[in-house]
């Protein structure tokens, strides 16, 4: 069910009106063809439920150009201006290495980011990063940067259509790490 955007904006437009903390999810890669830029093995509904049980309102954000179907119950399709405004109002951000993730970093929002074949230190100022970076071990870590261009290298282990080891996680690990961070 899509949130009523007008009611959502009124509820979070002023910090004094907002009754719950806001957790933003950006969990779908714009291109499913880039398997090395995704996160696999996570039940996002379980992650959302854990946050809701800890007092957060959870919302998945999507842009109108994405052809993905929402994963979470609460979702918004946002234009660029709305994207910046919504992320700025959030308390935490959960998502892939993406434009919205970097917007969250600009606003210094505590973030839980999923990096596949991309080296986080080449995308983030880690000295200013607050949150947790998820990246599973891989013998070819950072292979995205081994070729020139914007598409990255095809995974040497599974090719371009299966789940690369650097992108596979477990729901329990994700939930444990986020829960640990939000309680501190």
Tokens of 72: 């979470």
Residue 88 has a pLDDT of: 94
| pLDDT for position 22 | 96
User: Distance between CA 159 and CA 27 in Å, rounded?
Assistant: 22
CA 73 from chain center: how many Å?
16
pLDDT along the chain (184 residues), means of 10: 47 50 88 73 96 95 75 89 92 93 94 88 88 88 68 74 87 96 84
Confidence at residue 53, expressed as pLDDT on a 0 to 100 scale: 95
Residue 94 is inside which H or E element, if any? Answer: strand 92-96
Residue numbers of the domain that contains 107: 5-182
Q: How many domains does the chain have?
A: 1
Residue 40: CATH number of its domain: 3.40.50.2000
The pair of three-digit structure tokens given for residue 55, joined into one six-digit string: 């007092």
What is the DSSP code (8-state) at residue 3? -
pLDDT on residue 32: 56
Helix (H, G, I), strand (E, B) or coil at 1: coil
């Amino acid at each position: 069910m899509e949130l009523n955007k007008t009611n959502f904006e009124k509820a979070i437009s002023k910090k004094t009106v907002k009754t719950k903390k806001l957790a933003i999810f950006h969990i779908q890669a714009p291109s499913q063809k880039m398997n090395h830029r995704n996160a696999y093995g996570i039940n996002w509904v379980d992650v959302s439920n854990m946050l809701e049980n800890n007092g957060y309102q959870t919302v998945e954000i999507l842009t109108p150009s994405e052809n993905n179907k929402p994963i979470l119950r609460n979702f918004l399709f946002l234009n660029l201006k709305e994207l910046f405004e919504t992320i700025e109002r959030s308390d935490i951000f959960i998502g892939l290495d993406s434009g919205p993730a970097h917007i969250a970093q600009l606003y210094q929002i505590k973030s839980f980011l999923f990096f596949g074949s991309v080296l986080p230190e080449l995308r983030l100022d880690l000295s200013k990063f607050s949150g947790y970076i998820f990246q599973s071990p891989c013998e070819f870590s950072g292979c995205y940067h081994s070729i020139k261009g914007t598409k990255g290298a095809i995974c040497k282990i599974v090719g371009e259509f299966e789940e690369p080891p650097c992108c596979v996680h477990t729901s329990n690990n994700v939930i444990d790490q986020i829960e640990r961070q939000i309680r501190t």
